[in-house]
A and B are shown apart, each in its own frame.
Chain A
């Protein structure tokens, strides 16, 4: 049994290790090891396309995770006091957000936003005061942040709600008995106890957005995120540079995720 488990861990981590190994390849060919070198890391970090894509990915991940954590936490707290059909409807929407394949979300968002923008843009042009160039709405960083925030908000709500329901209701009541205002109760009692869940939700949302390819593929317009860059490079052929980028992305996500998971699990145990 122990050996079996060991083999499964080997199965899970060998491919990741292989990518890392080949990223230190000195040769040009991606699938033949020819000595050890860190040059592909330098090459990747000097590549302006990679740095642009990285910047876009960071911006999108940070913005969408922030929006999702704030609005998701507020919604989870508000939902505690809502019962009946409205609650059931909201739960169904969260369920749909998590369950619908990413590819369908990407496509649906693309055609809906393009259609809506096509309707709005002529109005904007007509209503815009003479002289200035009217703004045109199009797919790009904004639509990508909005789409990622939608999905990750559902995740944050699920995570924060799980923590909320395990918090004893009496804690809040005790605080009210001691003449704390509802806002005071929230700030001094609920929020600190929720902090681990919110932080974990933020980290998960950030890594989801940072790693997401499929939604971004449809929704990013002409913008390139890091996964989109990696995808188009793979289509052109396998190079050690992709391995170097992949290893850095994996390394960063692994660290963030392990932190998120440990925070969540410690929060559960308390």
Chain B
């Protein structure tokens, strides 16, 4: 057996797995999106663009997603940057690892349970009760777009901190010293040296968070209470309640297309802004 054959043999099981469990299912969704709904739900083979023509019926879901996903990404970035900066530039190396791990770890725990916690905090007996006790009147927090936004920022903050941290950590600290030696005030150093050099990390973080937000389902359901719904919620409704597979597939394809287009345009923009690119890391 040659080295070449051996390599292929090693890759083959994983390749087969991806073929059956990823490529096949996505192809099925694509094919079904041109089909028709069966009388009792499900799918009837056809070739029609009817499902795509029907997409405006779910306009609100797309609108909510396309407003709250970028907003949530921006909010997470503004909160994450100072923390990443503090961790990368100002923290004793002895503590760096553990502090970073403490930021990343919540991301890998159940988003279901973490969102559930906010039902308490934003619900009637949580913050609204506190505000009322202070005599500031009655406020509704849960089941509003604001609650969804908080849930989003909370859920995806760790994913934003990590890439920004990496880019700031790799930054040559001597550049900062050089800048201040040459008489630049700290703020000028920050905005003219630190920020431009950390753009790859910021871009990676924003992209990761934005992509995940586009498919979000649990946070709008639990914290938006059915009033603020995303494309993900529309998909669940179409596949599990009304069993309209053809239309649901068209919605899913549209979601992926929007994601691909935004991400491609965004990457181009970032690449133009900054020629050196950072490698994408999932953690």
Residues of A within 8 A of B (CB): 1-2, 4-5, 8-9, 11-16, 18-19, 22, 30-32, 71-72, 74-75, 77-82, 90, 93-94, 96-105, 107-113, 115-116, 146-147, 149-150, 153-155, 157-159, 162, 182, 204, 207-208, 211, 213-214, 217-218, 227, 230-231, 234, 238, 242, 246, 249-250, 253-254, 257-258, 261-262, 264-265
Contacts and interface: CB of A to CB of B under 8 A. Distances in A.
Contacts of B8: 78, 82
B256 A100 contact: yes
B120 A97 contact: no
B113 A19 contact: yes
A101 B82 contact: no
The 9 A-B pairs at the shortest CB distance, nearest first, are namely: A101-B215, A78-B10, A15-B117, A108-B25, A75-B14, A150-B21, A112-B25, A78-B11, A211-B110
A227 B108 CA distance: 14
Interface stretch (B175-183, B195-203, B232-240): B232-240
Q: Is the interface of A mostly helix, strand, loop or mixed?
A: helix
Contact of B108 (A31, A71, A116, A257): A257
B39 interface: no
Contacts of B113: 19, 230, 246, 249-250
A8 B79 contact: yes
Interface in B59-75: none
Interface string B201-220: 00000000001101111100
B108 A207 contact: yes
A159 to B, nearest CB: 8
B17 A150 contact: yes
Contacts of A153: 14, 17-18
17 contacts: A5-B86, A5-B87, A16-B117, A31-B124, A75-B14, A75-B15, A93-B18, A103-B217, A111-B249, A150-B21, A211-B110, A213-B111, A238-B120, A254-B109, A261-B105, A262-B97, A262-B101
B42 to A, nearest CB: 9
B6 interface: yes
B43 A147 contact: no
Contacts of A159: 283
Kindly state the interface size class of chain B when it binds its partner.
35 or more
B109 A253 contact: yes
A150 B248 contact: no
B83 A8 contact: yes
Given A214-B217, A253-B109, A93 B158 contact: no
Given A8-B79, A77-B10, A101 B117 contact: no
Given A31-B124, A258-B101, 17 more contacts: A9-B102, A78-B11, A93-B15, A97-B22, A101-B216, A103-B215, A103-B232, A103-B236, A104-B255, A150-B22, A211-B111, A211-B112, A213-B112, A217-B236, A238-B120, A258-B105, A264-B283
A242 B4 contact: no
Contacts of B106: 12-13, 16
Contacts of B86: 1-2, 4-5
Contact of B239 (A5, A110, A162): A110
Given A227-B110, A253-B110, A262-B97, A109 B25 contact: yes
Interface in B106-128: 106, 108-114, 116-121, 123-126
Contacts of B157: 8, 11-12
Interface stretch (B26-34, B49-57, B269-277): B26-34
A105 B256 CA distance: 11
Nearest to B157: A12
Contacts of A158: 282
Interface string B1-21: 001101111110111011011
Nearest to A154: B18
Nearest to A231: B112
A147 B282 CA distance: 19
B82 A111 contact: no
B102 A108 contact: no
Contacts of B85: 1
B101 A265 contact: yes
A111 B239 contact: yes
B146 interface: no
B109 A250 contact: yes
A71 B13 contact: yes
Nearest to B112: A213
